[in-house]
A and B are shown apart, each in its own frame.
Chain A
Amino acid sequence: MLLLSYLLLSGVTTGALYALVALGIVVVNKATGVINFAHGELFMFSGFVAWTLHVQMGVMYPVALPLAVAAGFLLGALTDRIAFRPLIKADVISLVLATVGIAFVLRGLARVIWGGKGDYLSFPPITSPEPVMIGEIMVIPQQLAVLAGAIVVMLAFAAFFRLTRAGKMMQATADNSKAATLVGIRTARIYTLSFGTGAAIAAAAAVLMAPLTLLYPDMGFSFFIKGFAAAVLGGLTSLPGAVLGGLIIGVIEALAGGYIHSSFIEVSAFVVIMLVLVVRPTGLLGAGRLRRV
């Protein structure tokens, strides 16, 4: 019981972070119809920016977080300007390869600036790392803080998407970009905004995650794959689906790691991706209509 409750809580916590990464992937995919292969590296890079601000320059954590999110937004918008806008009429192969190129540039830059292969930077905890017992259940305050932070980010994003003018323009573009152009929305700007927003959510996830684990230049890719697994499980165009998918992946990983072997943590996401894409490409909450994948 103790093990199960511990695994479930840590699964939900990491799952919430995967959900944020997945939300970023879905936002970009809904608006532009493509997947940003540099998404994980944007996540990683923003995490390192937060590290520099918080640990090296002594900026308070609540201030470092929005600054890193802003940095993430800029990086995302830059990705759009370099790899999406000029290639909007090119074929999908060029576009994917261009974002792969950007991913490697960011990864190399992170290695040059923050450390080479096998270098890990630690981020000081924001709350006490001591576990607390609530009845039969062991709770780590750090995990609760991360979970709460992730929920706040999700709610803030939902509010932005539903209530603001920019969010509504993003919805309109995602639904029908030609109609959106007709009513005067500058879709090219909305694409930039979507790339920026997607990266900003990933940046928030990175800053929330940093105190829980360590930062290293190769982490972007593994989070990208997990976020993609979550997004695919949720249907790739569904925002609630991305959140649900993230939580499921997080819990599956934690259970596989706890009950089978710790090395199975890494492999669960790959298995989910391959199974979902082959068996049910529309995911759990994807549109009911048949979609060409």
Chain B
Amino acid sequence: MALFGRRNVLLVLLVAAVLAPQFVNTYHLFVANLILVYVLLSIGLNILVGYAGQLAFANAAMFGIGAYGTGLLQVHFGWPFWLAFPTGAVIATSVGLAISLPALRLSGLYLALSSLAFAQFTQWVFLHWESVTFGAGGFKTPTVSFAPLPVSKPIGLYYLSLILAVALFLLAQNLVRSRLGRAFVAVRDGEVAAQSLGIDLLRYKALAFGISGFYAGIAGGIYSAMLNFVSPEGYDLFQMVLHKAMIVVGGLGSIAGSVLGAGAIVGLLEALREVKGIQEIAFGAILVIFILFMPGGLIAFLKTRVPGWEEPLHRRGRGDAPTVSTTPATKVVRP
């Protein structure tokens, strides 16, 4: 394994993340926690878009459903965070599974637009179902307590996010290497071909949507606890473009790339916090520039320039495994 290979760099990042709370101030801890939330979102979305090839725009809505689910269960029913949080994630997962049903009939542009309409519908529900969601003003959630453990809320939440992010990162890594992940790639590269190989499209598309809904729901639950506040604005179209920018900058069809993309985008988001006006311009332009000039994202650059970044499916020299492309194959889809 090369010195600056994927595993070593990720391990160093992990060690840095574990030790970080000892050295940084509250604001930097908040940013680090934000990165972990976005890592979860980015991995979930990349499984859906980058691996399964389903271009859906409902990720920000799933994120919102996770946050609202976690927050509202605590506020309305007085549930403890430890119960509301997983339930919120389960709600997001089931909504993800539910919106996958039209996805069986729709693909490409139609899926993109119907999921965009669904995301706006979710926003509308957050805004107008005032008796439950408290409308445009949002609502405060109770502060999470890590009572038996001797840690403050920001640090406890940070380690909770870190544990979840690492666990779900490893889960995703294994998942995309498994039969399931290869089925996703097959669906992406050719639905008819995949079907003729005995892959049940309904089942695998639904699974991809469910998995991305689960990741977004977990991220939403943590995010609501981080801010102690939930409002519709946090889950709008701008979030959508942030999520898309993360997976494009990191690299479509790469779990490690999702982590890099999330880090890069959150870093930029914080750097541009002073000049809010140009955030939309910056992230829109990043999306266009990466698609035009670096279609494989950061991970493609690392894979070609730095030894040790090839992902498992690309590993050469074994002779027994055929090389499977994990980046979308270019294909002519139009006249």
Contacts and interface: CB of A to CB of B under 8 A. Distances in A.
Contacts of A93: 49, 53, 55, 252, 328
Interface stretch (B77-85, B159-167, B281-289, B318-326): B281-289
B288 A281 contact: no
Interface in B296-333: 328-333
Contacts of A293: 105-108, 110
Given A92-B333, A104-B280, A98 B291 contact: yes
Contact of A112 (B248, B277, B283, B330): B277
B277 A108 contact: yes
Interface string A212-243: 00000000010001001100100000000000
B94 interface: no
A100 B117 contact: no
A83 B288 contact: yes
Interface in A71-107: 82-83, 86-94, 96-98, 100-107
B116 interface: yes
B248 to A, nearest CB: 6
A278 interface: yes
Contacts of A228: 113, 117
Contacts of B277: 108, 111-112, 116
A5 interface: no
A225 B105 CA distance: 20
B333 A104 contact: no
Of A229, A270, A292, chain B has the most CB atoms within 10 Å of the CB of A270
A109 B292 contact: no
B281 A104 contact: yes
A281 B106 CA distance: 9
Contacts of A34: 109, 334
Contacts of A277: 102, 105-106, 110, 113-114
Given A100-B287, A221-B237, A274-B118, A89 B330 contact: yes
A88 to B, nearest CB: 7
A37 to B, nearest CB: 8
Interface stretch (B2-10, B22-30, B120-128, B197-205): B120-128
A176 B278 CA distance: 42
A57 B108 CA distance: 43
Given A32-B334, A274-B118, A105 B110 contact: no
Contacts of A162: none
Contacts of B280: 104-105, 107-108, 111
B330 A90 contact: yes
Interface in A257-293: 263, 266-267, 269-271, 273-274, 277-278, 281, 292-293
A166 B248 CA distance: 37
B249 to A, nearest CB: 11
Contacts of A129: none
A105 B143 CA distance: 37
Contacts of A292: 107
Contacts, number: 143
Q: How large is the interface on B (under 10, 10 to 19, 20 to 34, 35 or more residues)?
A: 35 or more
A197 interface: no
B269 interface: no
A70 interface: no
Contacts of A263: 124, 127-128
Given A89-B332, A93-B53, A108 B291 contact: no
B76 to A, nearest CB: 22
A229 to B, nearest CB: 8
B207 to A, nearest CB: 19
B117 A225 contact: yes
Interface of A is mostly: helix
Interface of B is mostly: helix
Nearest to A110: B280
B335 interface: yes
A33 B281 CA distance: 27
A35 interface: yes
Contacts of B286: 101
A293 B286 CA distance: 29
A98 B282 CA distance: 13
B112 interface: yes
Given A91-B328, A93-B53, A267-B121, A105 B281 contact: yes
Interface in B229-259: 237-238, 241, 244, 248, 252
Contact of A101 (B116, B124, B291): B291
Contact of A33 (B121, B244, B252, B334): B334
Interface string A103-131: 11111110110001000000000000000
A226 to B, nearest CB: 10
A191 B335 CA distance: 11
Contacts of A89: 330, 332
A232 B110 CA distance: 9
Interface in A111-162: 111-112, 116
A147 B102 CA distance: 36
Given A104-B281, A293-B107, 19 more contacts: A35-B113, A82-B288, A90-B291, A90-B330, A93-B252, A96-B55, A96-B112, A97-B248, A100-B244, A101-B286, A101-B287, A101-B291, A105-B281, A108-B280, A111-B280, A112-B278, A270-B120, A277-B102, A281-B106
Interface of B: 49, 53, 55, 102, 105-110, 112-114, 116-118, 120-121, 124, 127-128, 237-238, 241, 244, 248, 252, 277-288, 291-292, 295, 328-335
30 contacts: A33-B333, A33-B335, A87-B292, A91-B329, A92-B55, A93-B49, A93-B55, A97-B287, A97-B291, A100-B244, A101-B284, A104-B238, A104-B284, A105-B284, A105-B288, A107-B280, A108-B277, A108-B279, A176-B335, A221-B120, A229-B117, A232-B113, A263-B127, A263-B128, A267-B121, A270-B121, A274-B117, A281-B105, A293-B106, A293-B107
